[in-house]
Amino acid sequence: MYDEYAGREGDIVTGIVQQTDSRYTLLDLGKVEALLPQAEQIAYERYDHGARVKAYIVEVRKTTKGPQIVVSRTHPGLVKRLFELEVPEIASGIVEIKALAREPGHRTKIAVWSNDHNVDPVGACVGARGSRVRMVTNELKSERVDVVPFSEDPVDFIQSALQPARIREVRLDEDGNATVIVNDAQLSLAIGKEGQNARLAARLTGWRIDIRSETQDAEEAEIEYAAGEWVEEDGQMVWHPAPEEEDATSASDASEAPSADAGANAGTGAGSDGEAPPEPEAAPAHDEGPAVEADGASELAVDTFAKDEAAVLSEGTTA
């Protein structure tokens, strides 16, 4: 009996509810019973006696009383196996489920890819008028399932994962962060109730997603951040601003140094060959004397001329 179920981990089984308590629920699989622990049950899901339930085998234990099978209703593999049962294209390998993210009892996102260009992977999983995906949601007790197309381009994949929100821009960095810009009216839809849509999209794509509105992005672009770094000192982190002013002062000093040297050279009159040019000849001190004497002689000549002119006038009057 153990050998029959030992290799079936990861399969889906259908059991009939036999017993339910606060710790676990027993499912009758026919020849053996399966244990559905409380931790593997969907919150607020009731298991009535005699009800048929599909579950995912997570572990097969070998005991003295025979094999003990542990099943789950919250495992993401349950959704994948349910789609394989309902979608023939997945069972045959034409359509592949590339990624899956689930919050049990609330919402699931799956990314699908088609190996045949003539087959639409999303349409194959949804079915005519949603008939195939409806069968899956009914088995999951009305858990919402979003089917999105997989893409090798991370920008396209992130945009698809955040559906039904319409994305305006996606920016990626080398650290695995994605900044998503949406219209202000689409912000709440992109984030989802309590951040559910953003969380599932991040798990589905493997990128850390930061969603911003156009207004928030414009305000963020106008903010200037101080340059510096945190440094650990004595077991505490201390902020050290970047030495912008010191660098600027050093740069200005460096730029002024050639000018000062040039001014010094100009003051000393250093020539191109390093020799000081000859100083201009200063007027000899003895030149000032003659200049003064010359001025005195001129004044004496003026006085003599005035006296002669006065004498001539007086002689003319006497005559």
The alpha carbon of 99 is separated from its chain's Cα centroid by a whole number of angstroms, namely: 23
Question: How far is Cα 255 from Cα 1, in angstroms, rounded to an integer?
Answer: 89
Same domain, 7 and 57: yes
Indicate the SS3 state at residue 119.
Answer: coil
The alpha carbon of 272 is separated from its chain's Cα centroid by a whole number of angstroms, namely: 59
- The pLDDT tens digits along the chain (319 residues) read 666 777 888 899 999 999 888 888 999 988 888 999 999 999 888 888 999 999 999 998 887 777 789 999 999 999 999 999 999 999 999 999 999 999 999 999 999 999 999 999 999 999 999 999 999 999 998 799 999 999 999 999 999 999 999 999 999 999 999 999 999 999 999 999 999 999 999 999 999 999 999 998 888 776 666 677 878 888 788 878 877 655 555 555 555 555 545 444 544 444 444 455 555 555 554 444 444 444 544 454 545 555 555 554 555 444 4
Residue 13 within a domain? yes
Same domain, 92 and 145: yes
Residue 36 within a domain? yes
Angle ∠(177,181,187) on CA atoms, nearest 5: 110
Angle ∠(38,44,45) on CA atoms, nearest 5: 75
Last residue of a domain, one of 38, 71, 104: 71
Q: In CATH, what number is assigned to the domain containing residue 30?
A: 2.40.50.140
Contacts 24+ apart (CB under 8 A), 236-243: none
251's tokens: 């740069």
Same domain, 80 and 15: no
Is residue 227 within 8 Å of 138, Cβ to Cβ? no
Indicate the SS3 state at residue 290.
Answer: helix
Same domain, 6 and 66: yes
Same domain, 88 and 59: no
Residue 166 within a domain? yes
Q: Return the DSSP state at 116.
A: S
Buried b (16+ CB within 10 A) or exposed e, 141-158: eebebbbbbbbeebeebb
63's tokens: 């005991």
Residue 128 within a domain? yes
Buried b (16+ CB within 10 A) or exposed e, 278-304: eeeeeeeeeeeeeeeeeeeeeeeeeee
Residue 301 within a domain? no
Same domain, 48 and 95: no
Same domain, 192 and 128: no
Residue 133 within a domain? yes
- Give bridge partners of residue 56 from the DSSP assignment: 12, 72
Same domain, 45 and 65: yes
Residue 265 within a domain? no
Last residue of a domain, one of 174, 189, 222: 222
Is residue 209 within 8 Å of 158, Cβ to Cβ? yes
Closest CA to 145 of 87, 186, 88, 187: 87
Closest CA to 143 of 189, 121, 186, 110: 110
Structure confidence at residue 66 (pLDDT): 75
Question: How far is Cα 199 from Cα 206, in angstroms, rounded to an integer?
Answer: 10
Alpha helices, DSSP H only, in 93-213?
121-126, 131-139, 154-161, 187-191, 196-205
Residue 232 within a domain? no
Same domain, 145 and 84: yes
C-alpha pair distances (Å), 229 with each of 241, 250, 317: 6, 21, 108
Structure confidence at residue 291 (pLDDT): 46
Last residue of a domain, one of 150, 168, 190: 150
Is residue 74 within 8 Å of 40, Cβ to Cβ? yes
Q: In CATH, what number is assigned to the domain containing residue 188?
A: 3.30.300.20
Strands 95-103 and 107-114, bridge-based pairing: antiparallel
- Total number of domains in the chain: 3
User: Position 55: which residue type?
Assistant: A
User: Could you tell me the residue range of the domain that residue 67 belongs to?
Assistant: 2-71
